[in-house]
Structure 1
Amino acid sequence: MFGEYSVHDNQADPADGDPGPCSGAALGNLPTEPASFVGRERELHFLDLLLRERRLVTLTGVGGVGKSRLALRAVTDPRQARPDGVWWVDLSPLRDPGLLTATVAHAIGLADHSARPLDEELCAWMADKELLLVLDTCEHLVADCRHLVGELLQSAPGLTVLVTSREPLDCATEELVDVRPLPCEGPDSDALALFRARALAATPRAAAAFADPARTAVAADVCRRLDGIPLALELAGARMRLWTLEEMAERIGERFEVLSDLRAALPPRHQTMRTTIGWSHELCAPLERLLWARLSVFTGDFDVAAARAVCAGGPLPAARVERVLAGLAAKSVVLHTTERGAGARYRMLDTIREYGHDWLDELGEVRIVTDRHAHWYAALCRAADQGWLGPGQVDWYRRITAEHAQLRTALEHLLTADPTAALEMAGALWFYWFACGHVHEGRAFLERVLRAAPPTGAAYNQAVWALGLTTLLQGDMDTAQRLGEECTRDAARLADPERELRAAYLHAVSVLMPGDAVRALALAGPRARASHGGRTSAPGWLLCKLATGYALCDLGRFEEATQEARALREACAELGERWLRAYADYILAVAALGMGDHGEAARHVRAMLSGKRLLGDRFGIALGLDLLAAAVAGLGDGELAARLLGAGHAWWRTVGRPQMGSPSLTALRDQGERQARAAIGDAAYETAFLGGAASSTG
């Protein structure tokens, strides 16, 4: 009926009866650590002790000093593993404090669907967990992070939080660690080692610069000039591709003498960092400086196509953007990342992005480039809307997930600059909000755009429908029903058959979930069975087919439900669509169970779970585990049924209300429990149930 998918690689295959990850698998989502890490042995030892003794540790220091790298190296240590995982939340792209809790929840795998405040759900979910949470780059959200961290630590005694920020959170229990620059003194200093490593990475010819003591002394002087700040050393090391060590020392000395007085109001380390970035900026070619400034509108990482679309113009033609971008990457102004598996992507460190944004402001281009950014991502969402229920479904999910930070930034801008475009963009993301674990965020954005935009037209109808889907998943059936009725009226006025089908699905499910299968069938059935000119690939028709199958199962009309599900599955197979196809398998399993064929039911639900595992659909996995438990209990395997029910319980906790409060789903789950208890007894049932819950990724 609905679903969420959020891909995590540490899932086992529930279709094989294994409800959790492989034994010993590390839970978490730590980013890939860069290849080299220099020094910091004392700090790492200190952090190792603190993270085992204190519950809140904050790494503070100037931008570019290496707080994030130190944090990542510290928590990657196997000694910091926790039973419920080590989870990393990058807050640098986040600009709206209202999305802080949603960002944390999604990062740790909580795709809550309830209508309760998300911070309450997050606290409840963490209450019995033992995990390590890293909040990286918090300085622009200090007050909000302070509040959330305080709530979480109070609710979850097994939680440890590591924060990186340019300033403390000022919590009562906070243990502060001032991350200082790398030591610069001596021929074996950490600063010199990092400078040497980055120079050699830029060009093998740099090896000669460190071959004798006299030249090593020159390199050490460069490190002292840069105050041992890692980012400054990396920027300088990248310049060794073009300069000798002596040229480097001379030019950086001249640059610092010119600017030291101009930056006197800044603290020394801030002054050094700002001056180093300014020096790197001056050494860029004019087109590189222009691209640097324009790239500052991106939050998070981006691909070449986006950079070309947003940053081209004037003296920088689109055909040259990629080459100029490569030049900035060679100078360490932008970083190359392929972590998301979606082709080459780039990102800019906050300190460097802030400098570029100052220049963009000086150029008077902030508004025009920000507009380009927002409209590029709005167009991407429109393209995704055409492919959500087709063969590119998983690829679109991955691409939109990779662009999540950019989508937020674009929507925030359009809400003020172009509310109609914001309305279209938010409505086009319906599948992402509804099926990909962003229900709270989607509802918030949709409510905002509907207040801001004119209440007419197809885009408004689409946004109302999308809002109805989010309320549906949150269990707010009264609101979902009201929105379904509104969509139906508007679609009739628009004379749009596809919108009428979508509205019928929303309206039908909003009455089906509380238990009115007769009315649901009356709303969706006639539309699902109509030919619609042979267009059986229309999303609205597929959704009505799904609602009809569910309603028939609830009414005990299992043979008819089987026919509907087979037709739906066949249509999905022809489209190459997987999300709805798996739910068709679910209906086939429910119908088989209703007709007493437990083996057939188990076969269909295993197929359904395999599809849901592929898509990471947490709601679907929770549904399927309950159903598989009922099927295997009917086959006499009470122990496996109990383990599956325990695993299902854990998965339900990640999506909010167990069984969504649905009478039919609750009855199905209870049936499996009764049969399992009858087969193996209460004591054995409880043991197996707890074992399944403990071994589940839920």
Structure 2
Amino acid sequence: MKGFIPQETTSFVGRGPELARLEGLLAARRLLTLTGAGGVGKTRLAQHAAVRLAERAPELFPDGVWWADLAALDGDDLLLATVSDAVDLSDHSPRMPVEALCAWLAGKRLLLVLDSCEHLVAPVARLAGELLAAVPGLSLLATSRRPLECDAEQVVEVAPLPAGAESLDLFTQRVADQDPRAPAADGAAAAAEAICRRLEGIPLAIELAAAQVGPDTSVADVADRLGSRLKVLARDTGFVWPRRHLTLRATIGWSHELCAPLERLLWARLTVFRGSFDLASARAITAGGPLAADDVAACVERLVTQSVVRREGARYRMLDTIREYGREWLRELGEEERLVARHTDHFLALARWAERSWPGSDQIHGYRLVEEANTDLRTALDHLAGSDPERGAELAGLLVFFWTCCGRLKEARAALERALAGPVPPGPARTRALAALGVTLTLQGEYTEALRVSDEAVHAADADGDKEGRFGAAYLAGLLALLTGRAEDARRTVVGALTSAPGFAFDSPARLRCHLVEVFARTGLGDLERARRDALELGVHCEEIGEVWTRSYLDYQLSLIALFQGSPREAAARARTMLDAKRQLGDAFGIALGLDLLAAALAADGEAEHAVRVYGHGETYWRSVGHPQRGTPELLGVREEYERATRAALGDDGYDRAYASGASSAAVPVR
């Protein structure tokens, strides 16, 4: 199945008529919005409908069903980046983001789900209008507590489950999820029916109530206590809530009261996480006072049991409605400011660790941790922008290499420009942020602006006297020189920096990148034997310590050198090794480069049709990064040479058929 839909972690109950209606509407309408109160089941209905549609009618959306979760966005700054990421667009170009997104979706037939739009109604409505106008094959399914109010929007109000069989089925299944061996007690059915009736069929409320059933608490006990709780709240509350909102809030409040004191404290403290979290982060941020670090894991598990926290593999997440309630308690406790500061400190420390670990065996692990924590890292950046601009610049500079690897160049550029626009004093944090911005601009092809930033970074690094800052500025200047055809300038720049501060290549990430630029520069200058020797030597160390990113680009260079030296099979083998590494990193730009190089090696070995299919498959990656085929000048020449050779071998029609076959395939054999 093409696309991505979050995995359903619990059984889906009922909603047969709604699902049938949605399938019919999605086949006929291009913008459908599921509306309803929090906890009524909008997201689960959209999720299940999307899965069913992808499985039962793949011809309706042959380019897949894709999911964009907007819940963690505080504003519209990252709306386009989030949606682009959701549809696998890693745009490296300086184009307007919406232009790049429309270009990527052009010609496709797909369904895009926009989940949790209620806090971004106006910007989501604008984006939906632009996308639907520009991409005829696109359909949108949104979930929101209120309509988007777009032209041609079909609004479907999601009602609670019927108070009869479907509500009872949900309650019964969730009780069984707690303990499948639990026998049904006498009178349990009547008590369960009473619970579902009192909770008016609201799925989240029913799940929270079911979570209270246990060895010492029968279904009848839950019914009695819930009935008392609802009566008290209805009598005593001073707020004028809509009835269903009052019912859900009462149930959440009752769940809160039934938690042990440490569980309630953890519930409140966990609300500082905007995305999913792991136990290590939960311990680091929430432990303190009466809540010991050793107690956090057990308390999290008890909150999972009570349906307050959801488990997602090895990570955890809190639903928005439950987070909102817990955040109110965090404020009541007077802990919000302190917990936000701890959250920020933790994620800055994570970024520092990941950067230090980059040239070593923890590279992939660190990369994945940063990727999983991206939502909370952005939250930390937002906080630092107002509270500590210098540390904000540091965090943005630390994250840029991870962002550029996974194609989030627009996100990186926006974060760095915002950080540097603040009152950041001269010093290493500002200098490294400048160098990071320059790298981002270079990868976007904004060479004139990148040169200006590069010069500023070089001068700032000299003024700081910071060794790492100098390596970072030298890497930027060298990379920019390489991509603009100035190989000797690149070599001279990085060799000068490395000579001024001798040391082991793997002492720091920036130093290692300077060594990599030197290898590229020597290849560009035709010094192939020296480039090959240096690449092999660095590659041995990478292999020994488990470093992946640098090794992948060393394999790229060794493949190119082998091609120049008349060894196409060695070139193909090196290109395949590079591709394996780039797939581990999810580096679309690197995969595009590797596929072009593999195609050239196959062509040089006489496999013209296979080569052209690989070229065609590479085109899908070039489109995903928003650039025409590009790279260092020597690769451009290789590509042109072998494209001409394969066209001559196959003829125009044969070339076009093979290219189209590769471009339309989900995968092309590279072995």
Equivalent residue number for residue 481 of structure 1? 451
Equivalent residue number for residue 618 of structure 1? 588
Choose which of 231, 234, 237 in structure 2 pairs with 1:260. 234
Q: Are residues 1:497 and 2:470 paired?
A: no
Cα distance change on mapping 1:665 and 1:173 into 2, 3 Å? farther
Equivalent residue number for residue 380 of structure 2? 410
What CA distance in whole angstroms lies between the structure 2 residues aligned with 1:231 and 1:159?
Answer: 31
Equivalent residue number for residue 322 of structure 1? 297
Moved more, 668-677 or 612-621: 612-621
Moved more, 562-571 or 27-36: 562-571
Equivalent residue number for residue 56 of structure 2? 79
Q: Is the 8 A contact 2:229 2:254 kept in 1?
A: yes
User: What's the CA shift for 1:528?
Assistant: 5.5
What CA distance in whole angstroms lies between the structure 2 residues aligned with 1:51 and 1:179?
Answer: 16
Moved more, 91-100 or 588-597: 588-597
Q: Which has the higher contact order (CA 8 A, sep 6+)?
A: 1
Q: Are residues 1:163 and 2:142 paired?
A: yes
The two structures have a TM-score, normalised by structure 1, of 0.91
User: What's the CA shift for 1:406?
Assistant: 1.0
Equivalent residue number for residue 584 of structure 1? 554
Q: Show CA shifts across 1:277-299 (max 9, x none).
A: 11212222222222211211111
Q: Are residues 1:219 and 2:179 paired?
A: no
Q: Is the 8 A contact 1:184 1:224 kept in 2?
A: yes
User: What's the CA shift for 1:164?
Assistant: 1.0
Choose which of 234, 237, 250 in structure 1 pairs with 2:224. 250
User: What's the CA shift for 1:514?
Assistant: 1.9
User: What's the CA shift for 1:162?
Assistant: 1.1
Q: Show CA shifts across 1:444-488 (max 9, x none).
A: 111111222423111221111111111111111122222222222
Q: Is the 8 A contact 1:478 1:510 kept in 2?
A: no
Residues 324-343 of structure 1 aligned to structure 2 (within 5 Å): 324-338=299-313
What CA distance in whole angstroms lies between the structure 1 residues aligned with 2:419 and 2:69?
Answer: 26
Residues 2-17 of structure 1 aligned to structure 2 (within 5 Å): none
Moved more, 350-359 or 196-205: 196-205
Residues 206-355 of structure 1 aligned to structure 2 (within 5 Å): 207-209=183-185, 215-241=188-214, 242-261=216-235, 262=237, 265-338=240-313, 344-355=314-325
Choose which of 152, 157, 165 in structure 2 pairs with 1:178. 157
User: What's the CA shift for 1:335?
Assistant: 1.4
Residues 351-500 of structure 1 aligned to structure 2 (within 5 Å): 351-500=321-470
Q: Is the 8 A contact 1:537 1:575 kept in 2?
A: no
Choose which of 172, 176, 186 in structure 2 pairs with 1:196. 172
What CA distance in whole angstroms lies between the structure 1 residues aligned with 2:392 and 2:379?
Answer: 11
Equivalent residue number for residue 138 of structure 1? 117
Q: Is the 8 A contact 2:405 2:585 kept in 1?
A: no
Moved more, 553-562 or 581-590: 553-562
Equivalent residue number for residue 8 of structure 1? none
Q: Secondary structure at the match of 2:34?
A: strand
Equivalent residue number for residue 20 of structure 2? 45
AA at the equivalent of 2:36? G
Cα distance change on mapping 1:85 and 1:528 into 2, 3 Å? farther
Equivalent residue number for residue 39 of structure 2? 64
Moved more, 258-267 or 507-516: 258-267
Equivalent residue number for residue 132 of structure 2? 153
Q: Secondary structure at the match of 1:151?
A: helix
Cα distance change on mapping 1:221 and 1:428 into 2, 3 Å? same
Equivalent residue number for residue 4 of structure 1? none
Q: Are residues 1:114 and 2:93 paired?
A: yes
Q: Is the 8 A contact 1:111 1:438 kept in 2?
A: yes
What CA distance in whole angstroms lies between the structure 1 residues aligned with 2:335 and 2:325?
Answer: 14
Q: Show CA shifts across 1:346-402 (max 9, x none).
A: 211100110111112222222111111111111111111111221111111111111
User: What's the CA shift for 1:529?
Assistant: 7.2
Moved more, 69-78 or 238-247: 238-247
Cα distance change on mapping 1:422 and 1:531 into 2, 3 Å? closer
Cα distance change on mapping 1:637 and 1:324 into 2, 3 Å? closer
Q: Show CA shifts across 1:511-567 (max 9, x none).
A: 221222232222224556788144554333322222222223333332333223223
What CA distance in whole angstroms lies between the structure 2 residues aligned with 1:613 and 1:192?
Answer: 46
Q: Percent identity?
A: 49
Q: Is the 8 A contact 1:66 1:230 kept in 2?
A: yes
Q: Secondary structure at the match of 1:302?
A: coil
Q: Show CA shifts across 1:664-688 (max 9, x none).
A: 4433322221010111111100010
Q: Secondary structure at the match of 2:184?
A: helix
Cα distance change on mapping 1:215 and 1:572 into 2, 3 Å? closer
AA at the equivalent of 1:430? V
What CA distance in whole angstroms lies between the structure 1 residues aligned with 2:350 and 2:588?
Answer: 26
Cα distance change on mapping 1:397 and 1:450 into 2, 3 Å? same
Q: Is the 8 A contact 1:545 1:565 kept in 2?
A: no
AA at the equivalent of 2:183? A
Q: Secondary structure at the match of 1:98?
A: coil
Q: Secondary structure at the match of 1:454?
A: coil
Choose which of 463, 480, 505 in structure 2 pairs with 1:510. 480
Moved more, 222-231 or 447-456: 447-456
Q: Secondary structure at the match of 2:520?
A: helix
User: What's the CA shift for 1:620?
Assistant: 1.2
What CA distance in whole angstroms lies between the structure 2 residues aligned with 1:522 and 1:315?
Answer: 59
Q: Secondary structure at the match of 2:415?
A: helix
Cα distance change on mapping 1:524 and 1:49 into 2, 3 Å? same
Equivalent residue number for residue 22 of structure 1? none
Q: Secondary structure at the match of 1:87?
A: strand
User: What's the CA shift for 1:227?
Assistant: 0.4
What CA distance in whole angstroms lies between the structure 1 residues aligned with 2:396 and 2:125?
Answer: 30
Unaligned 5+ runs, structure 1: 1-25, 339-343
Q: Show CA shifts across 1:494-523 (max 9, x none).
A: 333333222212102212212222322222
AA at the equivalent of 2:161? L
Q: Is the 8 A contact 1:299 1:406 kept in 2?
A: yes
Moved more, 347-356 or 539-548: 539-548
Q: Is the 8 A contact 1:558 1:592 kept in 2?
A: no
Equivalent residue number for residue 694 of structure 1? 664
The two structures have a TM-score, normalised by structure 2, of 0.95
Cα distance change on mapping 1:260 and 1:534 into 2, 3 Å? closer
What CA distance in whole angstroms lies between the structure 2 residues aligned with 1:575 and 1:216?
Answer: 61
What CA distance in whole angstroms lies between the structure 2 residues aligned with 1:654 and 1:122?
Answer: 9
AA at the equivalent of 2:658? A
AA at the equivalent of 1:201? D
Q: Secondary structure at the match of 2:311?
A: strand
What CA distance in whole angstroms lies between the structure 1 residues aligned with 2:340 and 2:508?
Answer: 35
Choose which of 49, 74, 79 in structure 2 pairs with 1:100. 79
